[in-house]
Structure 1
Amino acid sequence: MTIEILYDANPREWPAYKQAIPAALKARGIDHNFSRAVLPSDADYVVYSPSGGIHDFTPFTRARAIVSLWAGVEKIVGNETLTQPLTRMIDPGLTQGMIEWVTGHVLRYHLGMDVHLASQSGDVWAEDVIPPLASERPVSILGLGALGAACGQSLARLGFPVMGWSRSHKSIPGIACTSGANGLKKCLQGAEILILLLPETRETHNILNAQTLKLMPQGARILNPGRGGLINDDALLAALDSGQIAHATLDVFREEPLPKPHPYWAHPQVTVTPHIASATRTSTAAIAAAETIAAFERGETPPNLVDRNLGY
């Protein structure tokens, strides 16, 4: 039986996905029609992202699932018309990309690369800027999902002591896992470098604010490749200006692209990257989407099924 799959994601990515997803489905023995022209009433699945055009899911009466190409689902999970199962992107390529971005920026901070690069212009021999060994540089990660766990374990293998926090307690080799209010406080107090990899929910919105930033060691550094709404922007700017936080590297923002007048652009202690910490790569995302559809076709619950109550 041929299943009907509607593509409703970024139109610019259609030329790549119209080749990659059918190939991945064919390799899994799934007879299908994958098109941008499938009628809502005929669609068995929707390959979706918020950059597509669908806002009302009511006409999709036959759809067995909405398969998101994005890891984050905060833009859709609260849609009241969405009654179909929703899955999010869990992709080895996305995970590896995040590991590489996080590791690179942690090492930039740890090794004092900015000082040495700046000294080039003045021919300064900055021999007194010697970093501690990784074992002496505690790192904390807020969010221990697939991305947070992978990044934490990679940093631990480099020798960093890694502490992680999640809403529900977890046990992950190489990471000192915490949870709850006391665990969050402990994570923040011990973080010379803090990495945010939480989903954005009611509970995590503005999790970094004036009060929680004060818990961190003076001169700590922050990486946010998670979600823009995790940080209260005004509070972070104040903490940077006071010296409480030495630097922040931010890849995600409440409004994207980041508006030109935003103070982050000109702030000397902020590095802006354009939401590229873990870009979805067509080749691996297509395989992940096909695996999700194949799981539904086998009558299985895929591991990336979104829990509406948790919001991710």
Structure 2
Amino acid sequence: MSKPSASPQAQAESYALYGLSYADDHVADTFDIRIVADMLDISYSHFYHTFSAVMNEPYWHYVKRHRIELAAGMLRHSGYSIAEIGELSGYMTLAAFSKAFKQHFKYSPKDFRKIQILPNEKRTLHITETITASFGNNMLANLFHYDRTERISISESTLYYTLLSHGDDPITEMVLKMNNHENRFRKIIEIFDIPQALVITGTLDAVPVTNYEKLSIFAGILLPNHQLAAHKQLRDNYPYLLQKRIQGGSFLKLRLPLSFAAAGIPMYEFIDRSCREGIFKMRDNQFFISLTGPNSCEIFIPLLKQRVI
């Protein structure tokens, strides 16, 4: 990755966000911080201090926290065993995962799975509901039913995205910034004639495990990996966009006559309720919203092929 041409402050933020993006895209992988610094063509020390200054936490602290929080989300909503969740979160052994998890949450993974209300849950949902109340997010909550969903298959894809917020007040920033970013992404799709692409939004984190002020909200273009020419065009023309691999497989799709902001709270409640009741189980935390119109959207929920009991 070449160095961005920008002001020192913008350049520092670009480096930090690239490091955040790389860590998120390699949750299950072992990697060295020097790999990230080398990709940015800067020194280890420069990257380490830049990330800490921009994100207000050291890089490896973020990597560990992010992995543990995503694991907590899977404990809540997936059908994986605890050992499988540890492996998917980058831990070599169940013992190492259990120790790290308990150090962070003060609960063992087994005990955490039994918690009915997560530590940040009420606060995060209350803040979000307060911000999005004007969008009428409770008016059409009855639309969120399993019998309105359809099971579809999505091929392996790549998300080209920008972070609308990575701290302080992420939901407010998302609402304020989304229109401009959505228009920009739709123009890109039109310019390169890639109608198969979706404009989507979501979070890199596990809602509501991650503290509200640390949520990273994104907007971007989801493009199937077999569209090789389109991928080259996006990478060549928009190198500043961050990238994330999206696993293909079975998804539930729910079409809604709601804006993305109005869909947020009832979407989470629908997912949480369905997972608790065993209606379906997720394979990871990567549910997202496709923006299909000013007052319409589609929810995509990744499903396990076979639930682990």
What is the TM-score normalised by the length of structure 2?
0.24
Higher helix share: 2
TM-score, normalization: structure 1?
0.24
Structure with more contact order per residue of length (Cα contacts < 8 Å, sep ≥ 6): 2
Of structures 1 and 2, the larger Rg is shown by 1
